[in-house]
């Protein structure tokens, strides 16, 4: 991991800590219970503490399988949110911080 954290421009791999994220959009739910969320101009911190337990690369299929754990990941950025639960509207925007602990992937 230490070799790839600063990025690898030759293979278009960006700097990984912090990882710059331009936009992530999530739309979920139905008409009665739904949420539309966009997180933009954000940075993910903590990838430098990831511990990989399994790495499998298949160059023929151009796929990979990674199993890893991370004690703490933090995403800091801006968000727009719009949705509702039954008749209760949920709307908001601004700066946000999502901190996750004991992440496995």
Residue 61 half-sphere exposure, CB side, CA atoms within 13 Å?
6
- C-alpha 74/C-alpha 77 separation (Å) is 10
User: pLDDT by residue (tens digit) across 6-55?
Assistant: 888 888 888 989 999 999 999 988 767 889 999 999 999 999 999 989 98
Question: Of 29 and 73, which is predicted with more confidence?
Answer: 73
Structure tokens at 33: 């219970």
* Cβ atoms of residues 38 and 79 within 8 Å: yes
**Hey, what CATH topology would domain 9-104 get?**
Bactericidal permeability-increasing protein; domain 1 (3.15.10)
pTM of the predicted model as reported, rounded to 2 decimal places: 0.77
Percent of the chain's residues with pLDDT above 90:
65
What is the phi-psi region of residue 52: left when phi exceeds 0, alpha when psi lies from -120 to 50, beta otherwise?
beta
């Amino acid at each position: 991991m230490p070799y790839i954290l600063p990025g690898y421009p030759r293979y278009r791999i960006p700097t990984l800590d912090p990882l710059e994220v331009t936009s992530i959009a999530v739309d979920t739910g139905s008409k009665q219970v739904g949420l539309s969320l966009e997180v933009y101009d954000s940075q993910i911190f903590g990838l430098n503490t990831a511990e990989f337990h399994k790495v499998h690369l298949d160059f023929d299929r151009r796929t990979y399988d990674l199993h890893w754990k991370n004690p703490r990941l933090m995403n800091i950025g801006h968000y727009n949110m719009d949705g509702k639960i039954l008749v209760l509207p949920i709307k908001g925007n601004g700066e946000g911080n999502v901190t996750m602990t004991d992440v496995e992937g």
